Each structure stands twice: as C-alpha cells, then as structure tokens.
C-alpha cells in the first residue's frame, strides 16, 4: 500500500477574462505585491482598478527583486501589516510570488524564521489574509505550489522550502499579463517549467496525480515553447505556456523537484544566474546522469520521451535521446546549454566551484533525486556543464 500523501492545488481560473474572478471574491483591503518592471507595465493598476470599482481599498507595493532576499520579504510583510490587508495579490514572476508567499507567513506569524521554516510547521495562515497569484512569467508555477525559494542576505544562499499551507487560494492565468516578457526570459522561464515537469515525473516522491500533470505539460511545452519565443505576441502560445507552467507546478509542487534544481539553485546563489536558465542548463545533464544507474528512472524518462515521439526498447538510450531533444529545444529558443554559452568565464567558474558544490549538497531537492550522488559527482557534473560535455559517469 502507498504511504498517505496529498495533492493540493489552488483554485485555478484560466481562459478568456480570468480576471473576472476578482469580481466575486469577498474582502475589503487588497495589497498588490509586485516589482517595478511589472508595475511599470500597468498590470498592478489593471487589477487595482477592477477592485476599486467594487469599493475595495488597495495598495501597491512594488519592491520585489529577482531571487528575493529575506530582508526584502520583511519589507513586504511590513507593508502588509501597515495596510492591514485581508487579501494579498501577487502579480509577477516567481520572484514576486515567492516574496508574497514568504511575506504572508511573516504577516500572519511575525516570529517565524524563514530559513528555519519546514514542511512540518503548522502556521495557521489565512487568519489575516488570503493569497491570489497572477503570474506574469510562464515558468515557475509558483502560483500553484506550496514552495518558496528565498535568498539569505548574508551568504547569498538560496534556500527552498515547502509548507502545505503555502498553496495559494487562487491562481489567475491571463496570457495578456505575460506578453511583455522579453525573449530571453520567455525562453528561460519556459525551461524552468520543462524542468519542473520532467523532475516532477522522476522524483522519488512522484504519484499518480503529479504524473498526470507532468504528462500533459511535457507535450504542451515541447509544442508551444518554441512558438512563444518565436513570436512574443502570439497570445495562443502564451496562454498554452501559462497553462503548461501551472500544470508543471501542480506536478512538482506535489512530488518535488530533484537534482537539476539542486544544481540550479546553487548557480543562482553563487553566480546569480537566472533560475530558469540555471535549472534548464542542468536538466539534460541530470537526465544523462540519472538514467544510467536506475532502470525505473530510465523507464520514466522513456515514457516522457514517448510523448514527443522518441521511442525504443533500451530505456537508457531513449533517455539519452530525451536529453538531446532538450538540448535541441534549448538551442532553438536560445537558452544556454553550458556555462560557457551563458557567458561564465573559466576564472569566474573556477572561483565559484567550491561554493557551487557546497550549496548544491545542502539543497533539499537532492532528497528526491532517484540516483544517489555525492559532492565529487556534483563537482564533475558542473565541470561537464562548463564545457557542454555529455555525462558519461
């Protein structure tokens, strides 16, 4: 028998006029959490105006930064408290959404230490406010997950944690909120979604519910990501990617991410590379690494490969072809396949390598990776990633 487990997702509203959901939620005071870029696009005002028509009071806090720091989260929590919000509305990419989620915790429970937050804590969220997320990137799926990724101010280490109460109440998927996203971020965030869907499918915590989401998301991402990068104003492609990223979030949010995220979080911490660029770069290498040692895992990769038309009896070979297909996709959309392609020089790489390995080893996503690893293998993997070499160990 399977161990007791849970599948949790927010209420997800999608399709034409998804924002109309704001017309039926009950409340009085909404604080919009966003960043300066997104605010500059007028997206926060669009939402604020909708609520003000219904006599809500709203405030906009636009201090979020990429890869949020604990100190930034505290500022957002202070703004929530000052305003006395009963709804928190996050409008932005994963950085904004995670800022809002983490600040929500501090708003409700000011004594919580974010770096000590664990999946097991009972927080009692929603005593003060509920959370709506409106993603403006089609990538992290954070609008559908109970995860947050925050950066420690002192060490710069990004730490990921989950807590069941952090699943937002509502996710609104409106493709017009993503059209402003430039080409590079469209590609990188799309790779984040692909990494979630593939890792969610091979995680040792996988389950039938997360599998269902992954299978659909893989198909959609291979089909629609190139189109959404090619023509940034293609609303259909934007919408499909928004749905796929959310499905990918529903998958890994309930089964967890794995090695590519451990490697990627560390790259974000040490080299300050974008999250999607980082985990996407790591993805094909981790497929090649994981499939060698573990027949179950290889057959899972093969199932995913089948969806995009790669078939064969030898699951390891099929997995290696899946990694190749991921690299081809990255080539097509302009997402770096090696540190060298990402513009990281040998000197910078060498200087950061020790910390890259150290932080990756501390990352909780390693727990869910099907193949056991150690720091020597992780170092070697980074070396291969520098040059773009196919993993052969």
Partner 1 sequence: MTEKLVFPSDEWIEKYVDALNKNARYEDAAKTWEGDFVFQIDADGKTIPEDVRFYLDLWHGKCRSARMAGPEDTAEFVYAGPLSNWKLLFDGKIDPIKGIMARKFKLTGDMGKVMRYTKAALELVATTREIPTKYLDE
Residues in contact with partner 1 by CB under 8 A are 3-5, 113, 115-121, 159, 161, 204-205, 361-362, 364, 366-367, 372, 374-376
- As measured in angstroms, the least distance from the Cβ of 270 to ligand NAD is 14
Q: Give the burial class of 355: count Cβ atoms within 10 A of its Cβ; 0-12 exposed, 13-18 middle, 19 or more buried.
A: middle
What is the H or E stretch that residue 246 is in?
helix 235-255
Q: Of ligand NAD, Fe ion, partner 1, none, which one does residue 384 interact with (CB within 5 to 8 Å by kind)?
A: none
Q: What are the tokens at 39?
A: 């605010």
- As measured in angstroms, the least distance from the Cβ of 192 to ligand NAD is 6
Asked if 10 is part of the footprint of ligand NAD (rule: CB under 6 A), the reply reads: no
Site string for ligand NAD, 189-228 (x = CB under 6 A): x--x------------------------------------
Asked if 140 is part of the footprint of ligand NAD (rule: CB under 6 A), the reply reads: yes
- As measured in angstroms, the least distance from the Cβ of 4 to partner 1 is 5
Alpha-carbon distance of 41 to 22, in angstroms, equals 20
Strands of 77-195 (E only): list them. Answer: 87-92, 130-135, 147-151, 158-162, 170-173
Strand-pair partners of 147: 162
Asked if 359 is part of the footprint of ligand NAD (rule: CB under 6 A), the reply reads: no
- As measured in angstroms, the least distance from the Cβ of 100 to ligand NAD is 10
| Placement of tokens 């997104």 in the chain | 38
- As measured in angstroms, the least distance from the Cβ of 333 to partner 1 is 33
Asked if 62 is part of the footprint of ligand NAD (rule: CB under 6 A), the reply reads: no
Interface stretch with ligand NAD, choices 90-98, 288-296, 299-307, 311-319 (CB under 6 A):
90-98
Asked if 239 is part of the footprint of ligand NAD (rule: CB under 6 A), the reply reads: no
Interface stretch with ligand NAD, choices 92-100, 300-308, 325-333, 335-343 (CB under 6 A):
92-100
Q: Which is nearer to partner 1, 136 or 203 (CB)?
A: 203
Q: Which is nearer to ligand NAD, 123 or 324 (CB)?
A: 123
Task: Report which of 271, 262, 5, 256 is spatially closest to residue 156, judged by C-alpha positions.
Answer: 271
Task: Report which of 25, 44, 257, 69 is spatially closest to residue 146, judged by C-alpha positions.
Answer: 257
Handedness of CA 10, 12, 18, 23 (dihedral sign): negative
Asked if 143 is part of the footprint of Fe ion (rule: CB under 5 A), the reply reads: no
Residue 172, by phi and psi: left (phi above 0), alpha (psi -120 to 50) or beta?
beta
Window 119-138: residues binding ligand NAD (CB under 6 A): 136-137
DSSP letter, residue 19? G
Q: Which is nearer to partner 1, 265 or 337 (CB)?
A: 265
Handedness of CA 324, 329, 331, 332 (dihedral sign): positive
Degrees to nearest 5, angle at CA 226 with 223 and 227? 85
DSSP string, 287-343: HHHHHHH-HHHHHHHHHHHHHTT---S-HHHHHHHHHHHHHHHHHHHT--SSTTTTT
Window 267-286: residues binding ligand NAD (CB under 6 A): 275-276
Backbone angles phi, psi at 198, to 5 degrees: -75, -45
Asked if 94 is part of the footprint of ligand NAD (rule: CB under 6 A), the reply reads: yes
- Asked whether the beta carbons of 88 and 33 are under 8 A apart, the reply is yes
Window 164-203: residues binding Fe ion (CB under 5 A): 192
| Placement of tokens 């999946």 in the chain | 119
Site string for ligand NAD, 29-48 (x = CB under 6 A): ------x-xx--x-------
Site residues (vs ligand NAD, CB under 6 A): 35, 37-38, 41, 66-67, 92-96, 98, 136-137, 139-142, 145, 147-149, 177-178, 180-181, 185, 189, 192, 275-276
Site residues (vs Fe ion, CB under 5 A): 192
């Amino acid at each position: 028998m399977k161990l007791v487990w849970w599948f949790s997702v927010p209420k997800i509203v999608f399709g034409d006029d998804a924002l109309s959901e704001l017309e039926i939620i009950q409340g009085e005071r909404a604080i919009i959490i966003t960043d300066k870029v997104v605010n500059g696009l007028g997206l926060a005002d669009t939402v604020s105006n909708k609520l003000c028509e219904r006599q809500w009071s709203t405030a906009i806090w636009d201090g979020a930064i990429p890869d949020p720091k604990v100190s930034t989260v505290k500022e957002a929590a202070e703004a929530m408290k000052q305003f006395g919000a009963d709804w928190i509305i996050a409008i932005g990419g994963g950085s904004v959404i995670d800022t809002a989620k983490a600040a929500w915790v501090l708003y409700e429970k000011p004594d919580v230490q974010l770096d000590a937050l664990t999946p097991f804590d009972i927080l009692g969220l929603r005593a003060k406010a509920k959370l709506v997320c409106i993603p403006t990137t089609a990538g992290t799926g954070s609008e559908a997950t109970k995860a947050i990724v925050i950066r420690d101010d002192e060490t710069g280490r990004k730490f990921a944690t989950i807590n069941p109460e952090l699943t937002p109440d509502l996710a609104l998927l409106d493709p017009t909120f993503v059209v402003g996203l430039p080409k590079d971020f469209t590609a990188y965030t799309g790779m984040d979604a692909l990494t979630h869907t593939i890792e969610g499918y091979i995680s040792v915590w996988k389950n039938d519910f997360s599998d269902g989401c992954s299978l659909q998301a893989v198909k959609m991402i291979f089909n629609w990501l190139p189109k959404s990068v090619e023509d940034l104003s293609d609303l259909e492609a934007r919408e499909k990617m928004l749905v796929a990223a959310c499905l990918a979030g529903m998958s890994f949010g309930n089964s967890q991410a794995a090695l590519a995220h451990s490697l990627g979080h560390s790259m974000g911490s040490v080299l300050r590379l974008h999250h999607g660029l980082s985990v996407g770069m790591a993805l094909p290498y981790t497929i090649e690494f994981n499939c060698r040692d573990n027949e179950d895992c290889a057959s899972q990769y093969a199932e995913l490969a089948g969806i995009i038309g790669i078939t064969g009896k030898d699951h390891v070979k099929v997995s290696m072809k899946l990694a190749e297909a991921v690299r081809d996709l990255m080539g097509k959309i302009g997402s770096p396949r090696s540190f060298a392609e990402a513009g990281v020089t040998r000197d910078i790489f060498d200087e950061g390598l020790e910390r890259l390995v150290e932080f990756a080893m501390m990352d909780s996503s390693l727990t869910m990776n099907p193949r056991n690893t150690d720091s020597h293998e992780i170092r070697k993997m980074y070396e291969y990633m520098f040059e773009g070499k196919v993993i052969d160990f």
